[in-house]
Amino acid sequence: MRSRYTAFALGNHGDYLLDTWHPTQSGDLTADSLSVKATQWLGLKILDYSQQGDAGMVEFEASYSDKEGNTGVHHEKSQFVREGGKWLYLRYET
């Protein structure tokens, strides 16, 4: 989770983001579209996490500033699955 947040925060890491997205859930996303830095991410706070075998969940809040300078907090429960020793992002709940 932290590495995906960092990739979003830095921008230009769409290849990594797509590579860590489960292929059945990535839809029409492309590395180019994921590389665009449209939001200024300000911080990540992990609220909860769990793992049961090859399934995991991370609940977090990520603070941000948009193009107009408005700040906010994105809250999410991300679901992950481990396949071939690699954790892949599946979906989220808000």
In this structure, CATH architecture of domain 2-93: Roll (3.10)
Query: Rounded to an integer, what distance in angstroms lies between the CA atom of residue 24 and that of residue 10?
Result: 25
- Name the pLDDT band for 17 (thresholds 50, 70, 90): very high
- Mean pLDDT of all residues belonging to the chain: 95
Please state whether the predicted TM-score (pTM) of the whole model is above 0.75: yes
Query: Rounded to an integer, what distance in angstroms lies between the CA atom of residue 61 and that of residue 74?
Result: 5
Express each pLDDT in 20-32 by its tens digit: 999 999 999 999 9
Give me the pLDDT at residue 24, please: 95
With vertex at residue 26, the alpha carbon angle to CA 25 and CA 30, rounded to the nearest 5 degrees, is: 175
